Each structure stands twice: as C-alpha cells, then as structure tokens.
Amino acid sequence: MENSSPVNLVDIFSILFAAFALVISWRAHEKTKEDSKNTFLNNFRDKLKSAKYEILSFESRDYSNNEKIILTEKIRDYLLYQGYKDEKRKYLDKSIQKDLFRLQEDIEDYVSLILANKDFDTNVDLVKNLLNEFFKKI
C-alpha cells in the first residue's frame, strides 16, 4: 500500500497534463475557426466596397453589350454570386444569407437600369444605399 501513493500521483499528473493539452488544442482550434471567419468577413467587406466603387465609376452613357457583360459579371463576383457556398453557410447568419440572396438580385436590377442609362443618378444612389445598408450588417 505504501508504494501505491507515488504511482497514483504520477497518474494524476498524467491526467492533468492530458486535460491541459486538450484545452490548449481546443483553444487553438477555436482560434483558427475565428481567424478563418474574420478573414472571410474582411475579404467580403473589401468586395462590397469594390462593388460600390465599380458602380460609382459607371458613366451616364450607352454601354456596348460586351461592356455590360463584363461589368455585371464583376459585380456578381463581388457579391459572391454562386461562389463561397460553404463559407457563406458557415460564417453568415441565416438572415444575412437571405439578405445577400435578395441583394444580388436587387443590385442586378438596378445595374441593368444604370447600364441602360435610365434614371442614372437616382439608380446609382439607390445601389449605393443598398450596399451601405448591407455592409452595416456584416
């Protein structure tokens, strides 16, 4: 019986050490997850800013069909259209995902009016406001 005491102490230290290692590893995993989320959100914010600047740089003139295709594709990319599916599901709330889904369609509708030179200034302002409002949510 006298010999069992030091062995038990070693066991206890082993368990404590294993538990400590588990906590450290869990915290590192959580930090990586949080870092990935922040990286995604920061990139997305940059893309939203780029979408806004792109639209603000549109001119009040008739665009050729090729120009329209290139510009609308650029805006779609900035709004993560058909892309980043897993990240959107992982890092954006359900309500934000729905707002983004609607935003993609609304922005396209305004862009079609802007590129057709219809109520140019009003529609550029409306797009700018929509993007600003969404930006505040993420």
Which residue, 28 or 70, has its beta carbon nearer to another protein?
70
Q: What is the DSSP string of 10-62?
A: HHHHHHHHHHHHHHHHHHHHHHHHHHHHHHHHHHHHHHHHHHHHHHHT--SSP
How many amino acids of this chain bind another protein (CB under 8 A)? 20
- Among 75, 125, 83, 84, residue whose Cα is nearest residue 103: 75
CA 33 to chain centroid, in Å, comes to 14
| Min dist. Cβ of residue 86 to another protein (A) | 13
| Min dist. Cβ of residue 82 to another protein (A) | 5
- What amino acid occupies position 9? L
Residue 68 sits in the site that holds another protein (CB under 8 A): yes
- What amino acid occupies position 51? A
Phi-psi region of 117 (alpha: psi -120 to 50; beta: other; left: phi over 0): left
Query: Interaction with another protein in 99-128: which residues (CB under 8 A)?
Result: 101-102, 104-105, 108-109, 111-113, 115-116, 118
Among 34, 46, 73, 119, binds another protein (CB under 8 A): 73
Residue 67 sits in the site that holds another protein (CB under 8 A): no
Choose one: 6-14, 31-39, 69-77, 86-94; the region binding another protein (CB under 8 A).
Answer: 69-77
Q: Which residues bind another protein (CB under 8 A)?
A: 65, 68-69, 72-73, 76, 81-82, 101-102, 104-105, 108-109, 111-113, 115-116, 118
